[in-house]
Structure formats: C-alpha cells, structure tokens
Amino acid sequence: DGGITQSPKYLFRKEGQNVTLSCEQNLNHDAMYWYRQDPGQGLRLIYYSQIVNDFQKGDIAEGYSVSREKKESFPLTVTSAQKNPTAFYLCASTVGGGSQPQHFGDGTRLSIL
C-alpha cells in the first residue's frame, strides 16, 4: 500500500545528543514536510522540501536540520541546540501546489531522558 512511514514511533534523547527521525514515502510525491505538534498549539512547520536536494525553513527551524537526497526520504535531525525537543513530530507529503491535501505519517513521539 502507498503511504508515509515514520520511524521510530517513540524516541528518547539524552542531553547533548542529536537524534534523527526517519520519514519515507512511496507515493511518488514531490513535496515533503515536517511538523511539530505540542499540546494545545496545533501543528507548526519545521522544514519543507519541494524537490530533491532543496529544502526551506519553516516557522520553527532553529535546532533542527534536514536533508533530501532522495525523493522518497526526508529525515529530520533534532540537534542538541533544540532545548525543548519533547513533542510529537509529523511528516507529510503532497504532489505539490496549494490545492492538494497533504498526506501524513503516524508520527514520532520524542521525549527527553
């Protein structure tokens, strides 16, 4: 089945550690997105990528980094510079253009040890 796979489902980070969240899609979508969800705050855009080897900062990019070496993959690294990383992270993809709905993965819940 086509879809978006995020892994792991749960992740724990130690102080000063970088961690990477995986996002893979087999929908042949050009655009991919990373969102952060905190209780009561809805979803906020971290980074997005419209094509391979290109990505743009969203509203809350500080402390995060991404890469887009393959169309299918858009991993997110939460660096040690992100002082409050505890949140639910959602990856999404779409064919592109403002009219198309985004398809979401199941999310990764990141916590601090």
Partner 1 sequence: AQKVTQAQTEISVVEKEDVTLDCVYETRDTTYYLFWYKQPPSGELVFLIRRNSFDEQNEISGRYSWNFQKSTSSFNFTITASQVVDSAVYFCALSEARGGANNLFFGTGTRLTVIP
- Sites of contact with partner 1 (CB under 8 A): 31, 33, 40-45, 48, 50, 56, 58, 88, 90, 92, 94, 96-107, 109
- Cβ proximity to partner 1: between 16 and 42 the closer is 42
Q: Supply the minimum distance, in Å, between the C-beta of residue 104 and partner 1.
A: 4
Q: Supply the minimum distance, in Å, between the C-beta of residue 72 and partner 1.
A: 18
Parallel, antiparallel, or unpaired for β 10-13 and 108-112?
A: parallel
Which tokens is 16 given?
């000063």
8 A C-beta contact, residue 104 and residue 4: yes
**φ and ψ at residue 107, rounded to 5 degrees:** 90, 160
Coil, helix or strand at residue 107: coil
- Cβ proximity to partner 1: between 41 and 53 the closer is 41
